Amino acid sequence: MSDASSIRTEILSLVSRHPGGETDPCVCSEYQSLLSQFKKAGGADNDVVFTIGKVLYKCGTAELPSVSSPPAPAAKTEDQCIIPFDYMREFMKDVFVAYGTPSDRADTCADVLIAADLRGIDSHGLGRLKPIYCDRIDAGILKSNAPIEILKETDTTALVDGNLGLGLYVGPYCMEMAIKKAKKHGVGMVFTKNSTHYGIAGHYAVMAADAGCVGLTGTNARPSIAPTYGTEPMLGTNPLTFGIPTSDPFPFVIDCATSTNQRGKIEMYERAGKSTPRGCVVDVNGIERTDTSGILRDMVAGTCALTPVGGAGIETAGYKGYGWATAVEILCTAVQSGPWGADVCGVDRKTGKPAPMPLGHFFMAVDLEPLVPVETFKNNAGKLLQALRGSRKDPRGPGRIYTAGELENVAMTERTAQGGMVVPLSLQKNMLLLRGKFESLQEKYPELPFEARGE
C-alpha cells in the first residue's frame, strides 16, 4: 500500500483489532511504522490517527508531526480514585437491579451512563446515578420498572409510552425501533411520551451512526431556559443532537444543550466548589448570577433561568438558541400531547413536594445505503472534516481545530489508557450511601476500591 488513504484504512484496522491500547512492543512498532508511511504518503498532519498513536499506543513522536493536545485533565488528588470502567458499569447495573429493574434493562441503563463517563461527559454518568435516578425512585416520582407501550405505529413512525419508567432503557428501545424502521423503509422516527431523563443524547446518535444511519434525537426537560427578553424559566435545556458516520474512527456527534450552559454542568461546578461562569444564568431582576449553590436552589424555585445559546437579548443572537430550544420542546410535546414548563419541573410549587417529570423524546434514523454506499458517504464526510481540522489556525489558540465527537474520542482513549475513570470524593460518598441501602450490594461490594486504599 502506498497511497495515504489505503494506509489510513490499515491503521484503522489495527485500531479495531487492538481498541484498548497496547503494551505489546510489536503492536506499537507496527502502528509507528504505519504512521510514518502515512506521513510520507502525504497524510494530513492533523489527522486523528496521530493523536490515537500518541495517546493510546504511546508511539514515539520524533518522526511524527507536532499535534497539539486538548487541555490536560485535572490532576488526580488524594481524595480521588481511578476505578476501572467495567467495575463501575457493573456497580451501576447492580444498583438498578437492587431497585427492582430487570437485569436486561439494568444492563442497558448502565451502558448509557458509563458511555457518558467514557466520553468525558462527567455531568451525565456516575454523577447522576444517585441524584437523578435513585433519589427520584426513592421519592416515588420515577419507576424502576414500567411497561413500554406502543400506542400508535406506521411503517416509518411510532408513538411510545414509557409510563414513567427509566428513560435510560426507554431511550435505547425507541432508537432501536427507529433504526429497524429505517433499515426496512429508509427512514424511521419514534416519538416518546411519559419517559424520564434518558442520559446523554449523544448515546442515541452514536447508535444510529454505528448502524450506518444519520441519527437525530432530542428531549425536553424541566424548565430552565428563559425566552429572549424574558427572565422566567420556560423551556428545557433541550439538546438537538446529530450523529453522522464518517471515515474517522469515531462518528461526527454534536450533542449539546440549547442553553449557554446546562444544569448538569452547574451541578458539577457545585461538586467542585466552583463559581458558574458569568452570562450563563439570569435571575428575575435580569442580573447575571455566578453563585452556584444559590443558582441551583433558585432554579428549583423558578426564580432564575439559564440563557439560551447566544446569551440574553439579541446582541449575540440569543434568539437562535431560543428558537432551537422551542423547536425541540414542540417535537417532544405536540405529538405526545405531553406536559411542558412548570408541569415537568419535578416539584409541586404549591407544596414543595417532589412531583413526576413526564418527559418527551424523539428519535430519527435515516438509512444511507439506499441512497449512497455507506463507505462512500463516510469518505466524503471524512474529507470535509479533515479539511476543517486542517484549515488555518488561530495563532492565539491551542494550535489545533477539532470537529464534533473528536474531543470525546480523545477522552475515551485517554481514560482507557489510564485504566478507568477518576471518581471524586463526593461520588465515592454516593456509592457508599447506595451500598448501605441494599444487602445485595453490601454482600457483593464489601470493600469498594477507594476503601481498599485505606482512605
Res. 3 pLDDT band, cuts 50 70 90:
low
Res. 260 pLDDT band, cuts 50 70 90:
very high
Res. 19 pLDDT band, cuts 50 70 90:
very low
Phi, psi torsion values for 245, nearest 5 degrees: -70, 145
pLDDT of 2 strictly over 70: no
pLDDT of 258 strictly over 90: yes
Q: Bridge-partner residues for 190, per DSSP?
A: 158, 363
If DSSP codes are grouped into helix, strand and coil, which group holds residue 283?
Answer: strand
Q: For residue 357, what pLDDT is reported?
A: 97
Q: Bridge-partner residues for 191, per DSSP?
A: 159, 362
Q: Which three cell numbers stand for residue 259?
A: 442553553
pLDDT of 435 strictly over 90: yes
Residues whose CB falls within 8 Å of the CB of residue 70, separated by 6 or more in sequence, listed in order: 398, 400, 402, 407, 410
Res. 452 pLDDT band, cuts 50 70 90:
confident
| Measured CA angle at 48 (ends 42, 49), to 5 deg | 70
350 versus 89: which is more confidently predicted?
A: 89
Torsion-angle region of residue 57: left (phi > 0), alpha (psi -120 to 50) or beta?
Answer: alpha
pLDDT of 334 strictly over 60: yes
pLDDT of 35 strictly over 50: yes
Question: From CA 192, how far away is CA 426, in angstroms rounded?
Answer: 33
Q: Which H or E run includes 278?
A: none
Q: For residue 66, what pLDDT is reported?
A: 39
pLDDT of 339 strictly over 60: yes
Mean pLDDT value of segment 321-327: 97
Name the amino acid, one letter, at 240: L
| Lowest-pLDDT range of 77-81, 127-131, 261-265, 326-330 | 77-81
pLDDT of 53 strictly over 90: no
| Lowest-pLDDT range of 79-83, 238-242, 428-432 | 79-83
Residues whose CB falls within 8 Å of the CB of residue 36, separated by 6 or more in sequence, listed in order: 63, 64
pLDDT of 122 strictly over 80: yes
The number of angstroms, rounded, from the C-alpha of 94 to the middle of its chain's C-alpha atoms is 22
Decide: 399 and 232 in contact? Cβ < 8 Å.
Answer: no
Mean pLDDT value of segment 301-327: 92
